[in-house]
């Protein structure tokens, strides 16, 4: 093996690994060994709910290596993790609820697509229970922490996925995102989280957020997100929320237009929860976008922030309750207290309440359609700030809602979005910037996202951590 690729810290982005494989400097078998060594070195970090044993993964790698045609597969030898509400044949699915675990008889179509493309699954990963939360602490399997500071939350609900990609344990993680589950962990672990327009990818397995959820990937680069998403865009007639436009849909990392307009929150509606460093990082990314040819336009975000609150603080929570009521009713104690409390709220809403909420949301969708006649993108912080685990546990529901300030409305309004690294606060904690496009405007989100990530000029995940002087 080429000693230039470090077994403990070498980059795992797909382009790097494919180049190493092509040159013969690394083999999938050797890579898998290195991956398991890294996982062992981290110890019990609560990333994995079910870790596939090393020899099984190495056997998958050797099977690929024995097939000359496999080398042409787009994910040849690439290791990945899977959120535990997405099925992998022969490995339990729990959605982080121990009492609700079951053994799937087949992999979800998404996971099977990745395996057929040459990917090697490493295991099932921790999450907020049932995908309800964007903080990563609502789980029966221990609390993962931010890769940069063990005191801080990892973000959720795809908590294990965010940490595993940020820590260099896998090349990408299968996620799903209803309220920010694939964007918040990306922001807090210095990686990329692109969430397609709802309906462009079929929904997988236990992801039961209904019409507001979409599968996605946590990746080290926008290029990886584009490659993976292009493998999975498809129209699925059996999925009632699948869009016909998904057939043949593609995104790219082509250079963005020479000029574009983007909206940002005005001073009155920019919420960073008093975190001046968050505000600074957001301003710096706005300036980078302007350098790339963008023109910023300040807007009042109040309508969209109001829509965001409706996801959990209103009749839309009845959708989550409807998804899980058959297992939840009479078995409430299987869930951790915040998940149990939030899901129980769904019982109190009538059909009248739900229809009224839908009419209100339709009005917000119309408003944002009008916005996107004047601008190409809406740009916000991914999260206002972040919190220490102990802070979060002391005020779980309120701080979770705060973390979803900007992410919660995106799926409700039928929009694509991507969280792009924003850099680091002076204490070494990472945050993100979110690019939001009009419905089906995914390509521009990805193109501008790739250019913005390149302009920041820091390596993804742990590799980008700056060396800060210790406080005196």
**Would residue 181 show up in a list of annotated catalytic residues for this protein?**
yes
Taking the C-alpha atoms of residue 242 and residue 246, their distance in angstroms, rounded to an integer, is 8
SS3 385: coil
**Would residue 83 show up in a list of annotated catalytic residues for this protein?**
yes
CA dihedral angle for residue 216, residue 218, residue 220, residue 224, rounded to 10 degrees: -20
Choose, from 18, 58, 83, 195, the residue flagged as catalytic: 83
Q: How many residues are present in the chain?
A: 472
Choose, from 57, 154, 157, 439, the residue flagged as catalytic: 157
Q: What is the DSSP string of 48-115?
A: EEEEPPHHHHHHHHHHHHT-GGGGGSTTTT-EEEEETTS-BTTB-B-TT-GGG-B--SS--HHHHHHH
Choose, from 57, 181, 229, 439, the residue flagged as catalytic: 181
Phi, psi of 249 (to 5 degrees): -65, 140
265-274: b (≥16 Cβ within 10 Å) or e: beeebbbbbe
SS3 119: coil
What is the distance, to the nearest Å, from the Cα of residue 268 to the centroid of all Cα atoms in its chain? 28
What is the distance, to the nearest Å, from the Cα of residue 208 to the centroid of all Cα atoms in its chain? 16
Query: 369 Cβ partners below 8 Å, 6+ apart?
Result: 438
Tokens of 310: 């409706």
Taking the C-alpha atoms of residue 398 and residue 467, their distance in angstroms, rounded to an integer, is 33
Whether the Cβ atoms of residue 408 and residue 308 lie closer than 8 Å to each other: yes
- Calculate the alpha carbon distances from 211 to 163, 318, 414, 442 in Å: 27, 12, 9, 18
Catalytic residues: 83, 157, 181
């Amino acid at each position: 093996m080429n000693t230039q690729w470090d077994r403990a810290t070498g980059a795992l982005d797909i382009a790097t690994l494919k180049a190493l494989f092509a040159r013969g400097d690394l083999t999938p078998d050797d890579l898998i060994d290195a991956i398991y060594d890294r996982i062992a070195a981290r110890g019990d970090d609560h990333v994995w709910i079910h870790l596939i044993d090393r020899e099984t993964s190495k056997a998958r790698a050797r099977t690929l290596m024995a097939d000359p045609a496999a080398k042409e597969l787009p994910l040849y030898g690439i290791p990945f993790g899977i959120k535990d509400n997405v099925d992998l044949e022969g490995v339990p699915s729990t959605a982080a609820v121990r009492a609700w675990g079951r053994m799937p008889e087949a992999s979800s179509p998404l996971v099977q697509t990745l395996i057929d493309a040459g990917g090697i699954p490493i295991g099932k990963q921790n999450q907020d229970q049932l995908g309800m939360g964007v903080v990563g602490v609502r789980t029966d399997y221990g609390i993962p922490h931010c890769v940069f500071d063990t005191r801080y939350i990892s973000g959720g609900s795809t908590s294990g996925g965010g940490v595993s990609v940020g820590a260099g344990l896998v090349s990408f993680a299968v996620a799903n995102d209803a309220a920010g589950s694939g964007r918040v962990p990306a922001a807090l672990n210095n990686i990329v989280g692109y969430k397609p327009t709802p309906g462009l990818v079929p929904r997988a397995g236990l992801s039961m957020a209904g019409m507001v959820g979409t599968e996605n990937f946590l990746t080290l680069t926008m290029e990886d997100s584009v490659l993976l998403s292009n493998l999975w865009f498809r129209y699925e007639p059996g999925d009632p929320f699948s869009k016909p436009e998904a057939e043949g849909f593609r995104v790219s990392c082509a250079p963005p237009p020479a000029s574009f307009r983007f909206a940002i929150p005005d001073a009155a509606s920019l919420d960073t929860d008093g975190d001046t460093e968050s505000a600074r990082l957001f301003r710096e990314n706005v300036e980078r976008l302007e350098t790339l040819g963008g023109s910023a336009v300040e807007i009042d975000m109040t309508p969209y922030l109001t829509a965001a609150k409706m996801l959990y603080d209103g009749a839309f929570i009845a959708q989550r309750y409807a998804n899980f009521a058959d297992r939840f009713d009479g078995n409430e104690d299987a869930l951790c207290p915040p998940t149990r409390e939030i899901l129980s709220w769904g019982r109190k809403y009538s059909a009248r309440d739900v229809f009224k909420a839908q009419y209100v949301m339709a009005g917000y969708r119309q408003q944002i359609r009008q916005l996107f006649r004047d601008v190409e993108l809406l740009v916000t912080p991914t999260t206002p700030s972040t919190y220490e685990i102990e802070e979060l546990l002391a005020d779980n529901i309120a701080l979770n809602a705060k973390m979803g300030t900007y992410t919660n409305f995106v799926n409700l309004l039928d929009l694509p979005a991507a969280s792009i690294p924003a850099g680091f606060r002076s204490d070494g904690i990472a945050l993100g910037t979110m690019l939001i496009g009009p419905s089906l405007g995914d390509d521009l989100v990805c193109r501008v996202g790739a250019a913005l990530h390149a302009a920041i000029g820091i390596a993804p995940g742990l590799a980008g951590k700056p060396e800060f002087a210790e406080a005196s």
